[in-house]
Chains A and B, each alone.
Chain A
Amino acid sequence: MRLTLGRREALWAYLFLAIPLAFFLYFRLFPAFQALWLSLFEWHADPSARRFVGLAHYHQLLEDAVFRRALLNTFLYTLLGVPAQIFLGLALALLLQRTPIARDFFRAVYFAPYVTPAVAVAWVWSWMLSPHFGLVNEVLVLLGLPPQPFLQSPSQALPTVTWVVVWQNLGFQIVLFLAGLESIPRQYYEAARIDGAEGWRLFRHITWPLLNPVLVFSAVIGTIGYLQLFTQVVNLNFTDQGGPLNSTLTLALYIYQLAFLRFQLGYAAAVTAVLFALILLVTLIQLKLLTRRVEL
């Protein structure tokens, strides 16, 4: 009995996916469910002392003002950060592609923030943004503008943190988009040029559509990343984590505080469940709306 072409293809697919899928199920999905399962219990180090509390934690969430703040902040970070890093990343990648001179050097320059350890980045920026000693305010004052509190201000802290995150991620965005740009076979450009297209039209009709898979990737992964923002938020306001008056607090940081500083793992798991649902929903919507199959 010979397998049909279709069946053979499916078999190969399962073969390729066997190990990765097994890995994800055992090391990621199963532990994730275990973690989420905790949300129905009152946590205790001794498993026999853990009490089943049903949806009590979820009720608690509804009245938790800090949770609401974290939720709002998380949204804001995502809405500000994702478009910013895609736009800037793509623009710089396009620019770099066209600059033949010292290309390596410029790429290294833009990549430097990405490889610099998070502690160093946070320390340098908190110095640069210091209201009284920072470089940024020195420049502002020179330009005749009033100095700004930045990370010290409940209203400015979040955009400031967003800026530092975008700045740090740019390196990878540029690498990603460069990879995407370089993957577009030159034949297409040549063919289009023969047809008389150039510049903006080339971008609109060749580059942009063919970049779609990479753009989708950047948007989806970027969103998932911002929705789970943690490291920079912690490092930039280290002694008052979550920023002045919780202005930079994210859901991921809140989960961390609840689980590891306040030992309330059940409640933390409930917040995690909400975050998970949020990310899932947003991702599904993005995949539906953004993906475009390009026929050549």
Chain B
Amino acid sequence: MLKRLLLAGLFLSISLGLAQTVTITYWQYDFKSKVEAINELIRRFEAQNPGIKVVHQTFPYDAYQQKVAAAIPAGQGPDVVNLYYGWAPTWVKAGYLVPLPEGWTKELDQEFVSMVQAAKVGGKFYGMPTAVRSLALFYNKDLFRQAGFANPPRTWEEFIAIGQKLTVKQGGRLVQIGYGVAPDGQDHHLVREVLVRQFGGRPYSEDGRRVLYLSEAGVRTLSFYTDWVRKHEIGVPGFFPGNNGYRDGFIAGKIGMIIDGSFAIGTIQQGARFDWGVAELPVERPGGRKANFGSFWMHGLTPLATGPKREAALKFLAFITSEEAQRYWLEKVGELPARKALIRDPKLSLHPVYGPFILSLGYAKATPFVDESAQRKVMVDAINRVLLQGMDPAQSLKLAAEEEQKILDLFWR
């Protein structure tokens, strides 16, 4: 009799214990170091939270959104999903994300770098990042030395001068260029978020609903940028073949300078066979206004995380964005931490590669996209109309502003 009671008791407690195990699913795109990092973080999280199990699934970067678009409506997707911050409004509108708890707002506002404000849609936070990125100038030290330049450019004037010196023609054809022009690379961010601000304007209104770059500053920006190709001839778009030709060309040693994101550090480190350096983006004049485009991948909550799954998902979210996790992430993946406390580390600011990026985090802004895919195209087209069809920059910018305002209006309707 006692044995039976004991067995029953054992059975009951085991089944109760099993019944407590909640399984949540986390999705991100497949990138070796990130996959390994999350696996390790999951291991630590599950050790601290024995009732929760996290299933980690990854998909190819190029097809990530398609996966989510199909999965969630069928109730089959993740509970916690990693997404590019710029996709948030589109996803929120289509019902693919739910807001984070109100109580978390204070911490996100105060402890995380300012660009994280872009994770808000309609005043509520829909995600939080482990790491952030920004832009910087990558330059080929060997080519610089050969042309007699010891330091990276501080102002755009210096930038153009160096660019011109590094642009080489042989037999009438370009064999090397000073700057890797890439409207569909990071240059559209450069124009929209960096140059417009440096020249005294601003791209959008505070609430993100109105296009403001159709201003004197905006026109000057577009003219200035396109003049790099048309007037100063420091580079041409599509110089080096391939999907990210500007970066590949830099790695091949055929391009003197590129403006790229911190996510490119790994690739450049692996591929470049020359001495290279990183510098903060140039400014209009010494002491002039600094600006940078920041971006981040954040972790969001989907409508599939309900009941006990929601609690578990929130615990997981808090864990992978904690200080400890971010510190580990920086070590393992090489991405900049999203918390202000960590970027204040002096060692980081002095790091030859990370330093310029870290310094920019204090003033970098993330563009409040509502339809990232379409808005990106608007700026790329604006630039291309000038470069490929010779349109007047003011006219091209006007068309772009109209197009983009329509997109914004349609979204906020």
- From B73, B91, B388, A245 is in contact (CB under 8 Å) with B388
Closest 3 CB pairs of A and B: A130-B241, A45-B95, A263-B94
- Which stretch of A26-34, A174-182, A254-262 is in the interface? A254-262
Q: Mark A139-156, 1 if CB is under 8 A from B, else 0.
A: 001000001010111100
Chain B residues within 8 Å of A77, by CB: none
**B389 and A154 form a contact (CB under 8 A):** yes
Interface contact B184-A239, CB-CB below 8 Å? yes
**New contact pairs (18) apart from A141-B173, A263-B90, CB-CB < 8 Å:** A44-B95, A45-B73, A45-B95, A123-B242, A126-B241, A130-B238, A131-B239, A132-B174, A133-B240, A151-B238, A239-B184, A239-B243, A245-B385, A246-B381, A259-B69, A262-B374, A263-B91, A265-B69
Is chain B's binding surface mostly helix, strand, loop or mixed? Answer: helix
Whether B184 and A134, one on each chain, are in contact in the complex, defined by CB atoms closer than 8 angstroms, is no
Most buried by A among B380, B381, B388: B388
Q: Are A154 and B388 in contact (CB under 8 A)?
A: yes
A265–B66 alpha-carbon span in the complex (Å): 12
Report B346-379 residues with CB < 8 Å from chain A CB.
Answer: 371, 373-374, 377
State the total of A-B contacts with C-beta under 8 angstroms: 80
- Contact indicator A244/B65 (Cβ below 8 Å): no
Distance between Cα atoms of A245 and B371 in the complex (Å): 18
**Which residue in A129, A132, A265 is a CB contact (below 8 Å) of B173?**
A132
User: Could you tell me if A245 and B242 are in contact, using CB atoms closer than 8 angstroms?
Assistant: no
Complex: how many Å from CA A257 to CA B376? 13
Residues of B within 8 A of A (CB): 65-66, 69, 72-73, 90-91, 93-96, 173-175, 183-185, 236-244, 303, 371, 373-374, 377, 380-381, 384-385, 388-389
Is A238 positioned at the interface, with any CB of B under 8 Å from its CB?
Answer: yes
State how many angstroms separate the Cβ of B297 from the closest Cβ of chain A: 16
Closest to A43 in B: B94
- With a cutoff of 8 Å between Cβ atoms, the chain B residues found around residue A239 in the complex are 184-185, 243-244
Complex formed: what's the CA distance from A160 to B408 in Å?
Answer: 34
Q: Which residues of B contact A44 (CB under 8 A)?
A: 94-95
Q: Kindly state whether residue A127 has any CB partner on chain B within 8 Å.
A: yes
Are B243 and A238 interface neighbours, CB within 8 A? yes
A279, chain B: closest CB distance, angstroms = 23
For residue A46, CB closer than 8 A to chain B, the reply is: yes
Assuming A45-B72, A245-B389, is B240 touching A257 (CB within 8 A)?
A: no
Q: Tell whether, in the assembled complex, residue B380 and residue A240 are in contact, meaning their CB atoms are under 8 Å apart.
A: yes
Min CB gap B181→A, angstroms? 11
A185 within 8 A of B: no
Question: Within the complex, which residue of B66, B93, B384, B389 is in contact with A260, where a contact is CB–CB below 8 Å?
Answer: B66
User: Chain B residues with Cβ under 8 A from A259's Cβ?
Assistant: 69
Q: A47: shortest Cβ distance to chain B, in Å? A: 7
- The smallest beta-carbon distance between A257 and chain B, in angstroms, is 6
Separation of A205 and B292 alpha carbons in the complex (Å): 72
Question: Which of B95, B241, B303, B388 interacts with A133 by CB under 8 Å?
Answer: B241
User: Taking each of A132, A134, A149, A257, which has the highest tally of chain B beta carbons within 10 Å of its own beta carbon?
Assistant: A132
Known: A47-B73, A154-B389. A262 touches B90 (CB 8 A): yes
Q: Which of A149, A245, A246, A260 contacts B65 (CB 8 A)?
A: A260
Q: Is the CB of A244 within 8 A of B241?
A: no
A147 touches B173 (CB 8 A): yes
CB distance from A125 to the nearest CB of B (A): 9
In angstroms, Cα B245 to Cα A126, docked, is 10
Q: Please tell me if the beta carbons of A45 and B388 are within 8 angstroms of each other in the complex.
A: no
Q: A45-B94, A45-B303 are known contacts. Are A261 and B65 too (CB-CB below 8 A)?
A: yes
